[in-house]
Amino acid sequence: MHYLITGHTGFKGSWLSQMLVAQGHEVSGISLDPKENDLFAIANLESLFSYDFREDIRNYQAVDRIFKKISPDILIHFAAQPLVLESYRDPVGTYETNVNGTLNVLRASDSSQSLKARLIITTDKVYRNSGKISGYVESDPLGGLDPYSSSKAMADLLSQSWGASTSGAPIAVARAGNVVGGGDFAKERILTDLVTSFVNDVPLELRSPNSIRPWQHVLDCLSGYLRIVESLLSGPISGATWNIGPEPRSYTTVSEIVALGERFWGKELNPRSTSSEFVETNFLTLDSSQASKVLGWRGLWDIELTMKKTIDWYKHYSEGGDPKTLCKKDIYEYLEK
């Protein structure tokens, strides 16, 4: 199969492209240029791609030309402004990318005669936060108090509506929680801050140490996405939206994530709490029982193994390990399971 990945130079896109190639698939991508220290750049992943387009999805003409130029079988749409705090600083850019950009990708993909399935990636933060303890299910109302969350909720509803009202390839929407794994160097993320503190001996500041999130390894998340794609290819599926999150035992506070990192790195940090000028959700979990029952999907790595694999990746990389080799090791071990 030929996969077209938007946002292929991002964290998830970098891991997915390697995972797909390991399974014998062809990959192409549309994305902005990676930053110098992004996984895509440091692992030299350009050679994996049949077509490597560096375009902004806000440019409809460019996106449309790409779909007309190549013949992908599967579309996986990652491209987005993915950071909550950045969305406060640049709300207009966030909405333009996450909403109008998604619309451009959907419009352009409609014209592709080869396309067999489209998977649009949103987030667990699309749900209207009511403080629900049991985990949000796919039928719960959407919302979002910050620009990032609301823009992704808009993209989610847009994709559902587009799939119900157009005759292009079938569409599904996937909502995942907090994904971790080696090679995520995005600013203002807990693993980035954690590793920076380990390597450079700088103080670790935690904005929301008691916030609970559905943490999962990036490979668990991606395996869920690919299971949705398999269902789209095999025929009708129950529901257009899917939660892809970990088992409840992996719901963990930020402080507990730090403690696991300290244990596996072998170094204490004594982090301190700090306040944030922006509002962030304190408690957010997903109920992924629909994916388990209908798709037969479940995560394979619990939170302890997830953090061990993640910290091992960063530790070996900090000691001179090759990032592509480190990714391959985790991918092949995961696929064997």
Computed over every residue of the chain, the mean pLDDT equals: 92
Contacts of 19 (CB under 8 A, 6+ apart): 219, 222, 226, 331, 335
Domains of the chain: 2-336 (3.40.50.720)
Residue pair 154/99 in contact (Cβ under 8 Å)? The answer is yes
pLDDT at position 292 is 94
pLDDT tens profile 79-103 = 999 888 899 999 999 999 999 999 9
Is pLDDT of 275 > 60?
A: no
Report the b/e string of 94-115 with b at 16+ CB within 10 A: bbbbbbbbbbbbbbbbbebeeb
pLDDT at position 49 is 98
- Gap between the Cα atoms of 133 and 130, Å rounded: 9
pLDDT at position 121 is 98
Local confidence band at 170 (pLDDT 50, 70, 90 cut-offs) = very high
The first and second tokens of residue 231, run together, are 């269902």
pLDDT tens profile 187-236 = 778 888 899 999 988 888 887 788 887 889 999 999 999 999 999 999 86
Please give the residue that has the higher pLDDT: either 241 or 270: 241
Local confidence band at 239 (pLDDT 50, 70, 90 cut-offs) = low
Is pLDDT of 238 > 80?
A: no
Backbone angles phi, psi at 298, to 5 degrees: -155, 155
pLDDT at position 280 is 54
pLDDT at position 205 is 83
Is pLDDT of 250 > 80?
A: no
The first and second tokens of residue 269, run together, are 């940090």
Local confidence band at 52 (pLDDT 50, 70, 90 cut-offs) = very high
The first and second tokens of residue 196, run together, are 């920076």
Local confidence band at 3 (pLDDT 50, 70, 90 cut-offs) = very high
Local confidence band at 271 (pLDDT 50, 70, 90 cut-offs) = confident
